[in-house]
Every structure is written in structure tokens, then in C-alpha cells.
Amino acid sequence: MGKPLSQYVEYTDELAGEICTRIANGETLTSILRTPGMPTRRAIEKWVKSREDFGEAYREARIQGFDVLAEGCIDIADDGRNDFMETENGPAFNPEAVQRSKLRVWTRLELLKRWDPKRYGDLLKQEHSGGVTLETIVAGSVRKPGASE
């Protein structure tokens, strides 16, 4: 459910700066908008389109936030604190914690691929030099293009 009209928030440079700083630090827009005094998502989208200065700052903040999110994947992957748990028989592998960490990293990487495919998408690079030879295999025999029958 959206915010009531009585909670409509006017644009200010200070508010715009706070939003961009928090996004650049890796905070999601959804969590920012839960903060009292913040505008609606629709208002921010409108500001991005109608205010060139804010739109540019917002886009740059998103790029910085993506990098923070990507670096966070390394932190999650390197954090092995919950990989083992204490049991009555001593330490035991904790597959649930490991799977949760994998899911957290995977989710972030998949979102990064969609949000910024040029920087975080799977690279598909194909190079070719030289010629191409085509051969057709017909019932066990090989025919080269242009060869007479």
C-alpha cells in the first residue's frame, strides 16, 4: 500500500543527497523508502525524469551501489563463521548456513547481471580469424562445397 497523500514529500537537495548517498552505500531503495520522511517510489521516479541533476546523481549512486553489492558477495563467500555448528558430538558441518550463503551471493549476482549487464553480465566474446571450411556429411560420405558428384 502506498503512502497517503498527506505524507507527500517535496523535493529538496538535502533529501536528494541523502537518498543518493544511501543508494551509493548499497542500501536498497525499498529499505530507504521505509524510513519516515522519505518520498514514495513514484515520486523518486518522477524526480529522476524531471530533474536532470538528480537523475544524473541517482544513476551514478546506483552504479556505486552495484559495486558495493558486488564487494559484499566476496564478504559473504569469505565468511565461514556459520559453516560449522556445535553438536553434542563436536563441530558438525552446517549445510543450511552454507546453502543460505550461496543463495545470498547468487541472488546478488543475478540482480547485478540484470541491473547492469555491461559491467556484471556474463561475457560472451567470440573471435574469428581465417577462413571457414564447410563439409556436408551424407550417409557416411563427406562432400566439400563445390565438389562434383
Cα 117 from Cα 96, distance rounded (Å) = 30
Task: Provide the pLDDT for residue 149.
Answer: 55
Q: DSSP state, 122?
A: P
Predicted local distance difference test score (pLDDT) of residue 5: 47
- DSSP per-residue letters across 64-93: HHHHHHHHHHHHHHH--TTSEEEETTEEEE
Profile the chain (149 residues) by mean pLDDT over runs of 10 residues: 62 97 97 95 96 97 96 95 93 94 96 92 72 70 60
**Per the confidence metrics, is the pTM higher than 0.85?**
no
The CATH number that domain 5-122 falls under is 1.10.10.60
Domain extents in the chain = 5-122
